[in-house]
Copies of this chain bind each other. A is one copy, B any other.
Amino acid sequence: MNARFYAPSARDLGSEIELPDEEAQHLTRVLRLKAGDSLAVFNGHGGEFAAIVTSATKSRVRVRLDGRAAAKPELPVSLTLAQAVLKGDRMDAVVRDAVMLGFTAVQPIVTSRSETSLAALARSARHERWHRIAVSSAKQCGRAVVPAVAPPITFGGPDTLTHLPSPQFLLVEPGASALTTAVAGVDATAPAAATLIVGPEGGWTAEEVQRYAGHAHPLGVGTLTLRADAAALVAAAALLARWKLV
């Protein structure tokens, strides 16, 4: 199988495009490809191509798009993950897994118990880092789509997430709300789009659950306590199975 590279500008067959810096370095320094070598290129919004290296120096690589290739099919449901920012590099793992599982967008949120702030996240350029991780995960799992990672926002009043698709599911601990539905209680017909909202290590405050329960379905997955960095993966896999999409 040819090595696979991300080139957001790839669009027209026959055109010659330049690879982004990081991709160019990977191609020349790690894989040591040269002019004339074949490669696969995806543009992150669904386009997958067969291509040829036309010129390669250490930092600049140009490739010609020679043919369209079949992109891996996307899920028929457009899934958004609203994930509370986790500690250290755990959020990186969540972004990576969300891409692997087929989410189409990630909205990082800062909740009452998040141990960070929008300012701290901006200082550490986390948002750019998450985008790079999304690209890298799409390369590994074979997706032609790189999910958008939105800039982090504060999870405040119940209208904070109205810009995200409905139905919305608020992942809660077993017994956190009288309104909690098990996955088996979710409508078995797959919606066109949905949002999964997942809290931080310390969970939601009772107030957050109460405020949001009228807007999102509180969803419980089993009776065990899931690790914060595995919760989205487990809940999403269960929902996809509920909707017969896996």
Contact = CB atoms under 8 A, between A and B. Distances in A.
Contacts of A221: 237, 246
Contacts of A75: 222
A241 B142 contact: no
B234 A184 contact: no
Interface residues of A, number: 35
A189 interface: no
Interface stretch (A9-17, A19-27, A60-68, A94-102): A94-102
A233 to B, nearest CB: 6
Given A101-B234, A234-B101, A234-B233, A184 B222 contact: no
B234 A222 contact: no
A223 B73 contact: yes
Contacts of A244: 184
A3 interface: no
Contacts of A223: 72-73
B100 A141 contact: no
Interface stretch (A80-88, A109-117, A208-216, A224-232): A224-232
A193 interface: no
B183 A241 contact: yes
Given A184-B241, A221-B237, A234-B233, A141 B246 contact: no
Given A182-B246, A246-B184, A143 B224 contact: yes
Nearest to A142: B225
Contact of A237 (B72, B96, B143, B234): B234
8 contacts: A100-B226, A141-B225, A143-B224, A183-B246, A184-B241, A221-B237, A237-B241, A241-B242
Given A73-B223, A142-B224, 9 more contacts: A141-B225, A141-B226, A141-B227, A184-B244, A222-B240, A237-B238, A238-B240, A238-B246, A241-B241
Interface of A: 72-73, 75, 96-97, 100-102, 140-143, 182-184, 221-227, 230, 233-235, 237-242, 244-246
